[in-house]
Amino acid sequence: MTERFVAILMGSDSDYPVLEPAVEILRSFGVRFEVRVTSAHRTPAATVAYVTDAESRGCGVFICAAGLAAHLAGAVAANTVMPVIGVPIDCGPLKGVDALLSTVQMPGGIPVATMAIGKAGAKNAAYFAVQILALSDPDLLNRFREDRSRAAAAVAEKNEKLQKLAGCA
Ligand code: RP5
């Protein structure tokens, strides 16, 4: 198990259903994580305090999810030297396009690795966090490779079933 942990931050508890797959993926890899609701505009001071404290306790990657005018990931990135992954939440009248642009369009100098909108982005954020931590954790890298092989095997299985279903096997 890697010593570093991942902090999953979200602007509101209403974001959690989108982030659940990320939690499941990190757990499946045995990666330690913390989950917090912390808002860049509702609780700005508490957000900075958490990020500073988490970094000092060994947080290696921050995953930040927010919807609408999503500035959580950028605000977190401004307060840590650890990598920050942004997940735009698919809510509101623009269904996450606003959050995508707010998260991805960071001015040069303070990067946020922005994932896809919604659950696919949450999943990829977790995988990407695992890849980052695996750079200094060979066991974790092996587990990541195995996971990729299992995913490929699952596609092969589905393909076989599909051939039978379509009557061309
Ligand atoms: C953002 O506003 C949150 O990240 C959430 O996606 C959105 C709506 O928040 P609630 O009004 O549901 O708390 O800050």
User: Distance from the CA of 149 to the center of ligand 1, in angstroms?
Assistant: 37
DSSP string, the chain: --SSEEEEEES-GGGHHHHHHHHHHHHHTT--EEEEE--TTTSHHHHHHHHHHHHHTTEEEEEEEE-SS--HHHHHHTT-SS-EEEEE---TTTTTHHHHHHHH-PPTTS--EE--STHHHHHHHHHHHHHHHHTT-HHHHHHHHHHHHHHHHHHHHHHHHHHHHTT--
Residue 58: pLDDT over 90 = yes
pLDDT at 169 over 80: no
Ligand 1 pocket list (CB less than 6 A): 10-12, 14-15, 39, 66-68, 89, 91
Q: Give me the pLDDT at residue 1, please.
A: 45
Mean pLDDT is lowest, of 119-128, 130-139, 160-169, for 160-169
Query: For the structural domain made of 5-136, what CATH number should be given?
Result: 3.40.50.1970
Using a cut of 0.75, tell me whether the model's pTM lies above it: yes
- Boundaries of every domain in the chain: 5-136, 138-169
Q: What is the mean pLDDT of residues 15-44?
A: 98
